[in-house]
């Protein structure tokens, strides 16, 4: 499946980088899922909101498990930047 949108510049918070390293989670694999519309573990209404957001230029949010913790990926509405972060860092 092709990418649905451009992620822009990709950045990550220290907490997300630490979690990904500790759990051996591949950040690029998560980013690939994110831009292809696999939002991870989100409620159905959030998945529907992401589909709407892609069509209308709003921000897109995914949520994935890394070990026993969660990492979010958020692409800003203008598609200038995508951030990997922990929910506690939001």
pLDDT digits (tens, 9 = 90+) for 38-85: 999 999 999 999 999 999 999 999 999 999 999 999 999 999 999 999
Q: What is this structure's pTM?
A: 0.96
Give the pLDDT of residue 3: 96
**How many Å apart are CA 44 and CA 85, to the nearest integer?**
21
Give the pLDDT of residue 27: 97
Beta strands in 1-90 (DSSP E): 9-12, 60-66, 69-75, 81-85
Q: What are the tokens at 9?
A: 């510049």
Rounded to an integer, the average pLDDT of 24-51 is: 97
DSSP state of 55: H
């Amino acid at each position: 499946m092709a990418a649905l949108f451009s992620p822009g510049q990709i950045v990550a918070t220290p907490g997300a980088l630490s979690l990904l390293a500790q759990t051996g989670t591949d950040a690029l694999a998560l980013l690939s899922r994110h831009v292809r519309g696999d939002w991870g573990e989100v409620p159905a209404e959030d998945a529907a909101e992401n589909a709407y957001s892609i069509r209308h230029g709003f921000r897109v949010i995914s949520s994935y498990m890394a070990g026993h913790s969660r990492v979010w990926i958020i692409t800003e509405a203008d598609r200038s930047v995508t951030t990997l972060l922990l929910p506690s860092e939001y």
